[in-house]
Amino acid sequence: MRRHLLTNKRIFLSACLLIIICSQSCQNEGLQLKKIGEQVFETDFVPSPKFCGLFKDTMTGVEYLYLSNGATDKKVSFFTLDGKRHKTIDYEAATKGHALVDISIWSLDTILALSKKTGEVFAINDSGKCIKQ
Protein backbone atom coordinates (compact mmCIF):
# COMPACT_ATOMS: atom_id res chain seq x y z
CA MET A 1 0.00 0.00 0.00
CA ARG A 2 2.81 2.38 0.92
CA ARG A 3 4.61 1.64 -2.32
CA HIS A 4 1.40 2.42 -4.23
CA LEU A 5 1.10 5.80 -2.46
CA LEU A 6 4.72 6.66 -3.26
CA THR A 7 4.14 5.80 -6.92
CA ASN A 8 1.02 7.99 -6.99
CA LYS A 9 2.97 10.87 -5.41
CA ARG A 10 5.73 10.53 -8.02
CA ILE A 11 3.19 10.54 -10.83
CA PHE A 12 1.47 13.60 -9.34
CA LEU A 13 4.76 15.48 -8.89
CA SER A 14 5.89 14.57 -12.41
CA ALA A 15 2.58 15.83 -13.82
CA CYS A 16 2.88 19.09 -11.85
CA LEU A 17 6.43 19.61 -13.10
CA LEU A 18 5.36 18.97 -16.68
CA ILE A 19 2.48 21.46 -16.38
CA ILE A 20 4.81 24.12 -14.95
CA ILE A 21 7.38 23.63 -17.70
CA CYS A 22 4.71 23.69 -20.42
CA SER A 23 3.01 26.76 -19.03
CA GLN A 24 6.31 28.67 -18.91
CA SER A 25 7.30 27.68 -22.43
CA CYS A 26 3.82 28.54 -23.76
CA GLN A 27 4.14 32.09 -22.41
CA ASN A 28 6.63 32.84 -25.17
CA GLU A 29 4.70 35.19 -27.44
CA GLY A 30 6.58 34.01 -30.54
CA LEU A 31 4.96 30.57 -30.43
CA GLN A 32 1.63 30.05 -32.16
CA LEU A 33 -0.36 27.04 -33.21
CA LYS A 34 -1.00 26.92 -36.92
CA LYS A 35 -3.56 24.66 -38.59
CA ILE A 36 -1.95 22.87 -41.50
CA GLY A 37 -4.71 20.52 -42.58
CA GLU A 38 -7.80 18.59 -41.67
CA GLN A 39 -8.81 14.98 -42.13
CA VAL A 40 -12.26 13.42 -41.69
CA PHE A 41 -12.79 9.72 -40.99
CA GLU A 42 -16.43 8.74 -41.42
CA THR A 43 -17.86 5.85 -39.39
CA ASP A 44 -21.37 4.68 -38.63
CA PHE A 45 -20.52 4.53 -34.91
CA VAL A 46 -18.98 6.82 -32.32
CA PRO A 47 -15.31 5.80 -31.85
CA SER A 48 -13.85 5.55 -28.37
CA PRO A 49 -10.30 6.94 -27.88
CA LYS A 50 -9.53 3.88 -25.78
CA PHE A 51 -10.10 1.59 -28.80
CA CYS A 52 -8.29 3.61 -31.51
CA GLY A 53 -4.77 3.77 -32.82
CA LEU A 54 -2.34 3.21 -35.68
CA PHE A 55 -1.57 -0.16 -37.22
CA LYS A 56 1.21 -0.89 -39.72
CA ASP A 57 0.66 -3.87 -41.99
CA THR A 58 3.97 -5.73 -41.95
CA MET A 59 3.21 -7.43 -45.28
CA THR A 60 2.70 -4.21 -47.26
CA GLY A 61 4.26 -1.56 -45.00
CA VAL A 62 1.04 0.50 -45.22
CA GLU A 63 -0.12 2.32 -42.09
CA TYR A 64 -3.79 2.38 -41.14
CA LEU A 65 -5.70 4.35 -38.56
CA TYR A 66 -8.20 2.15 -36.77
CA LEU A 67 -11.26 3.51 -34.99
CA SER A 68 -13.43 1.32 -32.79
CA ASN A 69 -15.92 1.30 -29.97
CA GLY A 70 -15.63 -1.79 -27.81
CA ALA A 71 -18.41 -0.75 -25.47
CA THR A 72 -21.48 -0.22 -27.65
CA ASP A 73 -21.19 -0.96 -31.36
CA LYS A 74 -18.22 -3.36 -31.19
CA LYS A 75 -16.90 -2.55 -34.65
CA VAL A 76 -13.47 -1.54 -35.88
CA SER A 77 -12.91 0.44 -39.07
CA PHE A 78 -9.53 0.70 -40.80
CA PHE A 79 -8.67 3.85 -42.74
CA THR A 80 -5.74 4.76 -44.92
CA LEU A 81 -3.98 7.90 -43.74
CA ASP A 82 -5.65 9.92 -46.49
CA GLY A 83 -9.09 9.11 -45.01
CA LYS A 84 -10.32 6.27 -47.23
CA ARG A 85 -12.07 3.43 -45.42
CA HIS A 86 -10.29 0.16 -46.10
CA LYS A 87 -12.57 -2.24 -44.20
CA THR A 88 -14.79 -2.62 -41.13
CA ILE A 89 -14.97 -5.66 -38.85
CA ASP A 90 -18.11 -6.12 -36.74
CA TYR A 91 -17.15 -8.18 -33.69
CA GLU A 92 -20.44 -7.85 -31.75
CA ALA A 93 -21.48 -11.50 -32.25
CA ALA A 94 -18.03 -12.86 -31.37
CA THR A 95 -17.94 -11.02 -28.02
CA LYS A 96 -21.65 -11.16 -27.15
CA GLY A 97 -22.27 -10.78 -23.42
CA HIS A 98 -18.73 -9.55 -22.69
CA ALA A 99 -17.67 -6.05 -21.73
CA LEU A 100 -14.29 -5.37 -23.30
CA VAL A 101 -11.21 -3.78 -21.77
CA ASP A 102 -9.17 -3.47 -24.94
CA ILE A 103 -8.67 -4.63 -28.49
CA SER A 104 -5.41 -5.31 -30.27
CA ILE A 105 -4.90 -5.44 -34.01
CA TRP A 106 -3.04 -8.62 -34.91
CA SER A 107 -3.39 -8.13 -38.67
CA LEU A 108 -5.90 -6.60 -41.07
CA ASP A 109 -7.91 -9.82 -40.89
CA THR A 110 -7.50 -10.70 -37.19
CA ILE A 111 -8.18 -8.68 -34.05
CA LEU A 112 -7.87 -9.68 -30.41
CA ALA A 113 -10.43 -8.55 -27.84
CA LEU A 114 -9.95 -8.77 -24.06
CA SER A 115 -12.97 -9.45 -21.82
CA LYS A 116 -13.21 -7.18 -18.78
CA LYS A 117 -14.76 -9.64 -16.33
CA THR A 118 -13.31 -13.00 -17.35
CA GLY A 119 -9.95 -11.97 -18.82
CA GLU A 120 -10.67 -14.13 -21.88
CA VAL A 121 -8.99 -13.17 -25.13
CA PHE A 122 -11.05 -13.55 -28.30
CA ALA A 123 -9.29 -13.93 -31.66
CA ILE A 124 -11.73 -12.62 -34.27
CA ASN A 125 -11.38 -12.91 -38.05
CA ASP A 126 -12.34 -10.26 -40.59
CA SER A 127 -15.85 -11.68 -41.00
CA GLY A 128 -16.49 -11.14 -37.27
CA LYS A 129 -16.34 -14.78 -36.20
CA CYS A 130 -14.47 -15.89 -33.09
CA ILE A 131 -11.74 -18.23 -34.32
CA LYS A 132 -10.14 -18.85 -30.90
CA GLN A 133 -11.16 -18.10 -27.34
> Tell me, what's the pLDDT at 91?
92
What's phi and psi for 8, nearest 5 deg? -60, -40
Cβ-contact 106, 112 below 8 angstroms: yes
Task: Please report the beta strands in 6-58, taking only residues with DSSP state E, as ranges in sequence order.
Answer: 53-56
pTM above 0.75, yes or no: no
SS3 13: helix
Residue 44: DSSP 8-state:
S
The three-state secondary structure class of 97 is: coil
Sequence spans of domains, the chain: 49-132
Can you tell me the distance from the alpha carbon of 102 to that of 89, in angstroms, rounded to the nearest whole number?
Answer: 15
Q: Give the tens place of pLDDT for each residue, 64-101.
A: 999 999 888 899 999 998 889 999 999 999 999 888 99
Percent of the chain topping pLDDT 90:
47
Q: Measuring CA to CA, which residue among 128, 133, 84, 94 is closest to residue 110?
A: 128
- 68: three-class secondary structure by DSSP: strand
